Amino acid sequence: MRKEFSNAMEKLAMEDDSIVFITGDLGYNALENLQAKLGKRFINAGVAEQNMIGVAAGFAHKGYKVFCYSIAPFIVYRCLEQFRNDVCFNNLPVFLVGNGGGYGYGIMGSSHHTIEDLACLSGQQNANVWVPAFSDEVEPIVAQIVKDARPAYLRLGAGKTTPDHSYTTGSFKVINHSDTAEITVFALGPIANNVMTALSLSPDLESKVNVITAMHFPLQIPDDLINLIKKAPSILVAEEHISIGGLAQQLSVQLLEKGIAPAGFKSLRAEGYPNGLYGSQGYHQKISGLDPDSILSYISQLIIPA
C-alpha cells in the first residue's frame, strides 16, 4: 500500500499547499516523487521520531496539516507520549502513517512488529485510526484524513483490491454478504485477504459466511450492520493485533451494549511469540491461526449444524 499512499499524497499535496510531509529517515525508493513535488514541504527529520512529532505539532499549530511517516513500530511506540500530549490533547491535524503493520516486517523480529498499535492509539482523545484492508482504499482514506483535520493514525500493509459488490457502512466494509449466512467474520486490515482465500478453498461455505472489514476506529456500528449480525449471530474476529485493545475487544463491548449476544464467538489474534522464534509474516500468521487454512477450520467449526 506504500505506493498507493505516495501517489495519494502527491495528488493531495499539489491541491493543498498547507500539507507538510515529514519522514523519520525512511521511505527510500518509495517517496522520491513526494520529495520532488513538495520541495521545502518535504522534511527529513532524521532518526528522531519524538522530535518529529513535536515539530509536526508546531507546524499544525500554525495552520498546516502534517503527515509523519515511518515504519509502523517506530511511528507508534517511539513517540507515543508526544502524540498524546502535543497532538491529541490539542486536537491538532497531525497524521501518523505507519508502514508494515502487524507482523509486516517478519524476520526482523519483535522490535519491528506492530501488534499493539490499536491498543495504544485508538483510545487517544480526538484521534482516529484507519486500517485499510485493500490497496484501493488508501487514496480515499488519506483524503478523508485531510478533510477531518484531526489527529489520525494510518496503518499500511499489503493488500489486494476490494472485491466486487462490496459496500461501506459505518466504520466497516461488507465484502461478502449472503441472505443464508450463518456466521459473520470480522477482519482487521489485510487479514481480510486471508479470509477470502479461506472461503475460496471451500466454495460451498461462501453462502454461509458474511465477511466484514473494520476500517475506522472508534467503531461506528450502524443499524443495517446490526441486523446483518442478528441474522448470522456466530462471530469470528481475525486480526493481526493482540486481543487487548484490538478489534475483537472493542467490537464485543459495543455489541453487548446494544444487547446482541453472539451464538458463538471466536477471536483469532496475534499470539506474540509463543515458541520464541521469528519468521516471515506468513509464519507468524500461521502460528497465530490467521493463515487461510486455520481460518477455514475455525469458520467450519462455527457453522450451525444442519
**Residue-level pLDDT at 32:** 81
Nearest-CA neighbor of 37 among 19, 58, 57, 64?
Answer: 19
User: How far apart, in Å, are the Cα atoms of 38 and each of 20, 33, 55, 134?
Assistant: 8, 9, 17, 27
**Residue-level pLDDT at 235:** 95
- Distance in angstroms (rounded) separating the CA atoms of residues 229 and 250: 16
Average pLDDT in the 4-11 region?
Answer: 89
Residues whose CB is less than 8 angstroms from the CB of residue 282 and which lie 6 or more positions away in sequence, other chains included: 291
Domain architecture of the chain: domains with CATH: 2-156 (3.40.50.970), 167-302 (3.40.50.920)
Indicate if the alpha-carbon torsion angle 283, 285, 291, 296 is positive or negative: positive
Using 50, 70 and 90 to split pLDDT, how confident is the model at 208? Answer: very high
Per the model's pLDDT, the better-predicted residue between 153 and 46 turns out to be: 153
- Distance in angstroms (rounded) separating the CA atoms of residues 179 and 185: 14
Of 13-22, 26-35, 182-191, give the lowest mean pLDDT range: 26-35
Average pLDDT in the 36-60 region?
Answer: 92
Indicate if the alpha-carbon torsion angle 231, 189, 4, 199 is positive or negative: negative
**Residue-level pLDDT at 304:** 63
Average pLDDT in the 34-49 region?
Answer: 87
**Residue-level pLDDT at 306:** 47
Flag whether pLDDT at 27 surpasses 70.
Answer: no
Cell numbers given for 225: 450492520
- Distance in angstroms (rounded) separating the CA atoms of residues 72 and 112: 8
Flag whether pLDDT at 299 surpasses 50.
Answer: yes
For residue 91, the 8-state DSSP code is: T
Q: Are 32 and 53 in contact (CB under 8 A)?
A: no
Instruction: Output b/e per residue, 273-283; b: 16+ Cβ within 10 A.
Output: eeeeebbebee
Flag whether pLDDT at 305 surpasses 80.
Answer: no
- Distance in angstroms (rounded) separating the CA atoms of residues 262 and 188: 19
Mean pLDDT, all residues of the chain: 93
Of 33-37, 101-105, 251-255, give the lowest mean pLDDT range: 33-37
For the segment 155-207, what is each residue's pLDDT rounded down to a tens digit? 999 888 999 999 999 999 999 999 999 999 999 999 999 999 999 999 888 89
Flag whether pLDDT at 59 surpasses 70.
Answer: yes
Amino acid at 240: E
Average pLDDT in the 85-106 region?
Answer: 96
Residue matched to cell numbers 522530535: 51
Burial label for 62, CB within 10 Å (0-12, 13-18, 19+), is exposed
* Sheet of strand 167-169, all strands in order from the earlier edge strand to the far edge: 167-169, 172-176, 209-214, 183-188, 234-238, 264-268
For the segment 106-130, what is each residue's pLDDT rounded down to a tens digit? 999 999 999 999 999 999 999 999 9
Partners of residue 43 on adjacent β-strands: 22
User: How far apart, in Å, are the Cα atoms of 167 and each of 16, 39, 117, 268?
Assistant: 29, 38, 26, 24
Q: At 113, which helix (H) or strand (E)? A: none
Indicate if the alpha-carbon torsion angle 4, 147, 77, 269 is positive or negative: negative
Of 37-46, 124-133, 170-179, 220-229, give the lowest mean pLDDT range: 37-46
Average pLDDT in the 41-56 region?
Answer: 92
Flag whether pLDDT at 55 surpasses 50.
Answer: yes
For the segment 260-297, what is each residue's pLDDT rounded down to a tens digit? 989 899 999 999 999 999 999 999 999 999 999 999 99
Amino acid at 222: P
